[in-house]
């Protein structure tokens, strides 16, 4: 890749920035208070062409690149809102259905995810595990033209919202298969949302599957090969998550700089003190390194490369790097940084999540280390 944004990418960045300022920033307080994202925002996302970005036009998308998804997410992330996470989820689930699904599945399941009328879900985690695919206990038993799903899925983002989800279950051969589940099916119920440290409005629920009938044609990819689908999806999700980190990290720096310029310490603004200049410089360098590596892995994804190991190494680097940026930004704010009136407080809480979601940091180390050992 070269390091110059195309005209199309520049336009998308600007559109995402304007959207963030006009549509998300004004309702952040409401989202935090009600722990819910207003539903009409999804039609707005759809209208602004931020859903189905990688999906060809005939299924309702705009046929653009993984890199452009990254640019958009980076901008949306600066709002410090879970809405950016959910846009990432919608894009990655629709792309997964497009990549692995039959023509009939593409036609039925993708357009609602692109036009904002259906909400995407990816359900792997269970009460006993989020890291070990062999330990999942949700079952799928064949019954005529259907599979019957039973089990509990834990921590499922937007599992309670109408639409469709990719659910992983053990089939009759004890292998993991991916099923496309209509969330309005009989026997599909959910818990009240978990109360989270950050990410207000994420809508994280447990899903209870009680004899949920799924047509056999709703198997995504090949039967028994669900783990491959999960691995490919989660690799793309990791890169999107890191774009989210880069955007939030940049906003931490912006907030810290704004504060340090205004705050007087011993008669001078904090920015006049070398110690704080050094902190700001380290933050800037950390964000730039994270940003360009994220772009690099996304562009490899666009070239069709397997990014399993690259995305794991990226996450291994970016998560602690941006968490340290957030810590410094809070420190620069002094006690004000610990107050909810300041944006840094929310960013700090949100930045804590990627180390324990979509594959923990330890799992990334195992992925990268074992690949190196095999090489």
Ligand X SMILES: Cc1cc2nc3c(=O)[nH]c(=O)nc-3n(C[C@H](O)[C@H](O)[C@H](O)COP(=O)(O)OP(=O)(O)OC[C@H]3O[C@@H](n4cnc5c(N)ncnc54)[C@H](O)[C@@H]3O)c2cc1C
Residues contributing to the site for ligand X (CB under 6 A): 122-125, 129-131, 155-157, 199, 202, 204, 353, 356-360, 362-363, 366
Q: How far is the CB of 179 from ligand X (least distance, A)?
A: 14
Q: How far is the CB of 85 from ligand X (least distance, A)?
A: 7
Q: 254-257: list long-range contacts, CB under 8 Å, 24+ apart.
A: 254/78, 255/329, 255/333, 255/342, 255/343, 255/344, 255/347, 256/280, 256/283, 256/328, 256/329, 256/332, 256/333, 256/344
Query: Measured between alpha carbons, how far is residue 187 from residues 182, 211, 289 in Å?
Result: 11, 6, 47
Which lies closer to ligand X via its Cβ, residue 227 or residue 336?
A: 227
Q: Are 203 and 161 spatial neighbours (Cβ–Cβ below 8 Å)?
A: yes
How many angstroms separate the most distant Cα atoms in the chain? Answer: 79
Q: Which two tokens stand for residue 275?
A: 């110690």
Q: How far is the CB of 299 from ligand X (least distance, A)?
A: 26
Q: How far is the CB of 190 from ligand X (least distance, A)?
A: 12
Which lies closer to ligand X via its Cβ, residue 71 or residue 85?
A: 85
Rg (CA), the chain: 21
Which lies closer to ligand X via its Cβ, residue 64 or residue 138?
A: 138
Q: How far is the CB of 256 from ligand X (least distance, A)?
A: 25
Bridge partners (DSSP) listed for residue 120: 164
Helix residue ranges per DSSP H, the chain: 7-19, 28-34, 40-47, 66-77, 82-100, 103-115, 226-262, 274-302, 308-332, 343-351, 361-374
Q: How far is the CB of 158 from ligand X (least distance, A)?
A: 7
The sign of the CA dihedral 313, 94, 87, 167 is negative
Q: How far is the CB of 40 from ligand X (least distance, A)?
A: 22
Which lies closer to ligand X via its Cβ, residue 65 or residue 182?
A: 182
Closest C-alpha to 105, from 43, 188, 164, 20: 164
Q: How far is the CB of 268 from ligand X (least distance, A)?
A: 41
Which lies closer to ligand X via its Cβ, residue 78 or residue 315?
A: 315
Which lies closer to ligand X via its Cβ, residue 104 or residue 356?
A: 356
Task: At 352, give phi and psi (nearest 5°).
Answer: -70, -20
Q: How far is the CB of 205 from ligand X (least distance, A)?
A: 10
Closest C-alpha to 54, from 358, 311, 304, 308: 304
Which lies closer to ligand X via its Cβ, residue 154 or residue 328?
A: 154
The sign of the CA dihedral 40, 189, 82, 118 is negative
Which lies closer to ligand X via its Cβ, residue 45 or residue 276?
A: 45
Q: Distance between CA 251 and CA 74 in Å, rounded?
A: 10
Which lies closer to ligand X via its Cβ, residue 92 or residue 218?
A: 92
């Amino acid at each position: 890749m070269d390091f110059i944004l195309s005209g199309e990418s520049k336009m998308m960045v600007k559109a995402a920035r304007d959207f963030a300022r006009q549509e998300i920033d004004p309702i952040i307080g409401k989202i935090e208070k009600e722990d819910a994202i207003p539903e009409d925002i999804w039609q707005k996302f759809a209208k602004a062409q931020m859903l189905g970005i990688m999906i060809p036009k005939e299924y309702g998308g705009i046929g653009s690149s993984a890199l452009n998804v990254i640019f958009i997410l980076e901008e949306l992330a600066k709002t410090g809102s879970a809405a950016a996470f959910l846009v990432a989820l919608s894009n990655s689930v629709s792309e997964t259905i497009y990549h692995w699904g039959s023509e009939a599945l593409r036609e039925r399941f993708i357009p609602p995810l692109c036009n904002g009328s259906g909400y995407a879900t990816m359900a792997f985690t269970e009460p006993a595990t989020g890291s070990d695919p062999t330990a999942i206990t949700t079952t799928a038993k064949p019954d005529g033209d259907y599979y019957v799903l039973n089990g509990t899925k834990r921590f499922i983002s937007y599992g309670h919202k109408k639409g469709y989800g990719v659910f992983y279950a053990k089939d009759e051969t004890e292998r993991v298969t991916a099923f496309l589940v209509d969330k309005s099916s009989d026997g599909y119920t959910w818990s009240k949302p978990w109360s989270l440290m950050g990410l207000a409005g994420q809508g994280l629920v447990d899903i209870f599957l009680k004899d949920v009938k799924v047509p056999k044609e709703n198997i995504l990819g090949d039967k028994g090969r669900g783990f491959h689908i999960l691995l490919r999806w989660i690799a793309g999700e990791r890169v999107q998550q890191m774009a989210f980190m880069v955007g939030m990290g940049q906003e931490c720096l912006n907030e810290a700089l704004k504060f340090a310029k205004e705050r007087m310490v011993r008669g001078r603004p904090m920015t006049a003190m070398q110690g704080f200049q050094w902190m700001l410089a380290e933050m800037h360098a950390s964000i730039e390194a994270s940003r360009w590596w994220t772009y690099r892995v996304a562009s490899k994804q666009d070239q069709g490369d397997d990014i399993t190991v690259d995305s794991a190494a990226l996450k291994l680097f970016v998560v602690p790097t941006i968490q340290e940026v957030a810590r410094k930004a809070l420190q620069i704010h002094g006690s004000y940084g610990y107050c909810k009136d300041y944006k840094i407080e929310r960013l700090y809480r949100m930045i804590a999540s990627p180390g324990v979601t979509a594959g923990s940091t330890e799992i990334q180390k195992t992925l990268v280390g074992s690949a190196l050992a095999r090489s």
